[in-house]
Structure 1
Amino acid sequence: MNTKLKRALAAGAAALGLLASGVAGAQAAPATRTVSVHPSGVRTMERPQATTQAGCTVGNLVVTRYSSCEGRSVPIDILSNGQRVGGGTFNLWIIQRFDRKSLNWTEQVSLTDPVFTPNARDLAVSISASSPGNQIKTIYPQGHEIGTPSQGQVLGTFDLLRAAARAEDTTYTFTVGKPGVKPASFSVTTVRYRCDNTFKGMRAGCVVPSVTTEVSMKNFKYISAGIRALRQRGGYWGDPNSHVPLTWLGSWIRQRHWDEVCRGKTPTAAERRAGRTSCDEYPFASTAEGGTTLPASQREITFVPPRENNQQGGAIQSWLKSWRILAGDRFYVDA
């Protein structure tokens, strides 16, 4: 074999060796492993008159004036080059509790009912929480393996620097992953809550302002009769059965609205003999719907004893403080 032929065969063998090495290297490239998380949504259910924490189920957000509870199903997939190779699901619970006489509030976070394939049980979860402008402390076993239940707390203090009201929410970020797997994150934002220190002689406190409340006029004989008479004629504003609430504005509008419907009006002779000399208006003068805002078919004036009108004012003030009602809050009237 001549020298030229030997060199050609050697070069060809080297080339084949490099090609084989390249193929082997391509085959040995590790798969890309990732986590995919997609929590379920929730349906909001209000329980306006409840004063204690209400239970809830997966898929629901149950809200009272002083609490909320939401439950979500959280499916997780482990993917290898885009193909599912494992995973499972757990339930996520977030419970909020507020106090009408405190700026401190608590939230409980729980992961329950984990069901995972063997290669996903060691997925770990970490939690962070934030609420703009507020002091937040998160207590949770960070890096907890998701295959077993866990529970944590968020302790918050609402920052109010002066006589004011401010609304915020809490955003949770959950990060799920394990060694050798690219992690994934998802966020959940709680119901919006509001804290204020606007009531004189009362400590600052917090509520869920979106929840409608109800004030009762049933203890006031003539006032409730006037409201019922209006509803029998088709008036529906503020009727709990109509689902059309009134909107509180405050004392600053009261006199103007009262003047629009009551000034110049006088009781009948029979009403005077019964001591019914005080003009009571509905919807209340302190609401957005008071005065002549609504058409005549949706409003009513009733002459009542002055004492009953004064007592009604006291009942409304008590209701305002009990539920921390501020301008813009919606409510119903039980008559």
Structure 2
Amino acid sequence: MASRNRQLRVSDGCQVYWPAPYEVCGAIRDKYNELGGPNGFLLHPKTNELTNPDGRGKRTEFVNGPIYWSPEGGAHPVVNHFLAAWARYGYEAGYIGYPTTDEIVNPDKVGRRQHFTGSTIYWKLNEAYSIGGRIFDKWGETGWEQGFLGYPTSDETATPDGVGRFNRFERGVVYWTFPTDAHPVAGAILDQWSKAGYERSKYGYPTSDERGAGSRREQDFQHGKITWPNDAADEVSEEVRTRELLSDAVAPKRLVHIYDQDSGGADPRLAPPSAGQPSECVQGLKNISRQVSCSDQEGTITRYRIRNGTKTEVGRTWFVAKTWIAFSLSTRWSTTPTWELGVRIETTKTDGEFEKNPTDYVLSTFCESGTMCKTTSAQDSERRVLKQGTVVEYTWRQESTGPATKAGGVIDPMKGLIGAKMLHGPIPNPWSVELNNLDARCDSVEYKVGCVNDKALAGVGYNAQRNPKISEVAQHVFDAQATLPSHWGVYEVPIERTLDTTLKDANRAVACPDGWATLPDTCDEYPMATTYQGASKVAPGDWSRRKVPKEANDSQGGVTGAAYLSGRILEKERFVVLAVLKDGRTSW
């Protein structure tokens, strides 16, 4: 038998790598072979050679990323965080342009970089960012990543006034405008400039690098000079503490969200929403609905001044940050799960120095890399101030981009990967608040792909008031929950879903053997055959069956399937069942 790794020669200048049927050609083929072909990190090809939209470049996509070729740059792979950073600015059509190198290990042996025709992308640990032009040159003058600025922590970004551009770094910033050129600002001078309002302050943009002035340091700006130390400023640091306010306990019986296919709209059991927050987020609980995830964090920021080695507290700020995800309802036709991420930050109190000189921050999100999710709406670039009484609300539209969007049968845990960030600095002690204590999961196990709050208890409802067709099934469930020894499916005794076809068939065979019911009647069993509490799994006498009209049974099947889908209820996940009779009585 021929080797499974054999390479089949096809068109001139191309190869096919069995078992993938695609041709890899020319310079892209040479680079692919250089990297180990299908035995290398790219694995097998997923496409033939494709022409890029500009008509000049080519690419071939592989399992773990593409190789791009251009006349000026040659053939190079762009993968993982580098690919995500490149994609944020339009791939080769954006200002970054085509790759001109493979990934290169930096001298510190920690990070990597990749050069492009219009910029360079640097990566360290979890994120990659682009940096180019005069900002790149100035960063190089400081010693690149091994200099005092460290690695970039943002892409090149336009300033709010549209005049300048800047990159953030681990220990400073570099700002550029055409008339002032590029200059780094760091340390205590950056602290003073940021407190004054950056380029929108009385100082304007930097016009020089920082320099020594006797025992002090100073830096020129368009409309003045900042000197450190001075009579008004010692070394300053700010420290943040936060705690979660919401309980992750199971929602009480009265608040469990019951899906009965017609249960849209406001739920009268919930308190009214607070500003932009969903109603589910003002009940004191994190996880009420599968469609919503909530978090409330209370925080304090303490400012210290350090003089001659003595650290003195000089002010505090208290704030409450409310964060939520509202997932779009999953359907059988969902292809790209989306959600709204929202944040509401209220500054409840300030004292000391914060009363006259409040601290500031910018908002960001956890979907910047594009690996598991991405933001599709505009990012917020405004610098906010934590001044007593101020309230900031902002929402983003986001979508899933994880493995579940690319293949079936995949579960993507998303807790900690969706959320907002409050970023302050950089100063000698920058701080951040991570508002990502939100429960979430995406999956492609059954129907396309969808995302939910998987920690919320799911509920299935058979509501005869809203859906008269289901009346006989609702009565059956009502009676079964009242009379069966285990009272399956009531709030105190949730049941568990099964995806095991063999078990489902066994449940049906015990509860509804062939011939037990004949049309126009059909056999309705409870608990349902799609659960681990079906007739083949529980004790005799702890399950129920009843003859009901086919129309009622069909309606029950539709409601159950829709509830499984909308709630993304997977294997062994618990849910409750509520029956509502025509007269309004409920089974629990």
TM-score (norm 2): 0.44
Question: 1:35: how far off?
Answer: 1.8
Q: Deviations over 1:104-135 (max 9, x none)?
A: 22212232234212522431223442255222
Give the SS at the match of 1:38.
strand
Question: 1:158: how far off?
Answer: 0.7
Give the SS at the match of 1:150.
strand
Question: 1:286: how far off?
Answer: 0.7
Q: Hey, what's the Cα distance between the residues in 1 that align with 2:347 and 2:565?
A: 40
Q: Are residue 213 (structure 1) and residue 459 (structure 2) matched?
A: yes
What does 1:50-65 correspond to in 2, within 5 Å? 51=264, 53-54=278-279, 56-57=281-282, 60-61=285-286, 63-65=288-290
Match of 1:141 in 2: 381
Question: 1:177: how far off?
Answer: 5.3
Q: Tell me which of 118, 132, 151 is aligned to 2:393.
A: 151
What does 1:225-236 correspond to in 2, within 5 Å? 225-233=475-483, 234-236=485-487
Q: Tell me which of 416, 422, 429 is aligned to 1:174.
A: 422
Amino acid at match of 2:353: N
What does 1:250-269 correspond to in 2, within 5 Å? 250=499, 252=501, 253-263=503-513, 266=516
What does 1:29-178 correspond to in 2, within 5 Å? 33-41=236-244, 42-44=246-248, 46=251, 47=255, 48-49=257-258, 51=264, 53-54=278-279, 56-57=281-282, 60-61=285-286, 63-80=288-305, 81-100=310-329, 101=334, 102-120=336-354, 121-131=357-367, 132-136=371-375, 139-141=379-381, 143-147=383-387, 148-159=390-401, 160-167=405-412, 168-169=414-415, 170-176=418-424
Higher deviation after alignment, 84-93 or 130-139: 130-139
Q: 1:288 to 1:151 in 2, by over 3 A?
A: same
Question: 1:283: how far off?
Answer: 0.8
> Contact between 1:173 and 1:188, CA under 8 Å: does it hold in 2?
yes
Q: Hey, what's the Cα distance between the residues in 1 that align with 2:551 and 2:395?
A: 50
Match of 1:296 in 2: 540
Q: 1:109 to 1:139 in 2, by over 3 A?
A: farther
State percent identity of aligned pairs. Answer: 17
Question: 1:139: how far off?
Answer: 2.0
> Contact between 2:409 and 2:446, CA under 8 Å: does it hold in 1?
no
Question: 1:185: how far off?
Answer: 3.1
Q: 1:206 to 1:56 in 2, by over 3 A?
A: closer
> Contact between 1:134 and 1:156, CA under 8 Å: does it hold in 2?
yes
Give the SS at the match of 2:556.
helix
Question: 1:322: how far off?
Answer: 4.4
* Structure whose alpha-carbon radius of gyration is higher: 1
Q: Hey, what's the Cα distance between the residues in 1 that align with 2:362 and 2:238?
A: 14
Q: Are residue 191 (structure 1) and residue 438 (structure 2) matched?
A: yes
> Contact between 1:235 and 1:297, CA under 8 Å: does it hold in 2?
no
Q: Hey, what's the Cα distance between the residues in 1 that align with 2:352 and 2:264?
A: 43
Amino acid at match of 1:109: V
Q: 1:153 to 1:280 in 2, by over 3 A?
A: closer
> Contact between 1:62 and 1:70, CA under 8 Å: does it hold in 2?
no
Higher deviation after alignment, 246-255 or 83-92: 246-255
Q: 1:55 to 1:115 in 2, by over 3 A?
A: farther
Question: 1:96: how far off?
Answer: 1.6
Amino acid at match of 1:223: V
Question: 1:141: how far off?
Answer: 3.4
> Contact between 2:323 and 2:419, CA under 8 Å: does it hold in 1?
no
Match of 1:15 in 2: none
Amino acid at match of 2:505: Q
Give the SS at the match of 1:97.
strand
Q: Hey, what's the Cα distance between the residues in 2 that align with 1:182 and 1:70?
A: 26
- Segments of 5+ residues of structure 2 without an aligned counterpart are 1-230, 266-277, 580-588
More helix by share: 1
> Contact between 1:126 and 1:142, CA under 8 Å: does it hold in 2?
yes
> Contact between 2:411 and 2:445, CA under 8 Å: does it hold in 1?
no
Q: Hey, what's the Cα distance between the residues in 2 that align with 1:237 and 1:90?
A: 44
Match of 1:249 in 2: 498
Q: Deviations over 1:11-33 (max 9, x none)?
A: xxxxxxxxxxxxxxxxx9x9764
Question: 1:288: how far off?
Answer: 2.0
Amino acid at match of 2:374: Q
How many residues are matched? Answer: 296
Give the SS at the match of 2:293.
strand
Q: Hey, what's the Cα distance between the residues in 1 that align with 2:473 and 2:420?
A: 47
> Contact between 1:107 and 1:155, CA under 8 Å: does it hold in 2?
yes
Q: Hey, what's the Cα distance between the residues in 2 that align with 1:237 and 1:114?
A: 47
Give the SS at the match of 2:535.
coil
Give the SS at the match of 1:257.
helix
Match of 1:10 in 2: none
Question: 1:153: how far off?
Answer: 3.4
Q: Hey, what's the Cα distance between the residues in 1 that align with 2:287 and 2:514?
A: 48
Give the SS at the match of 1:317.
helix
Give the SS at the match of 1:313.
helix
Q: 1:62 to 1:280 in 2, by over 3 A?
A: closer
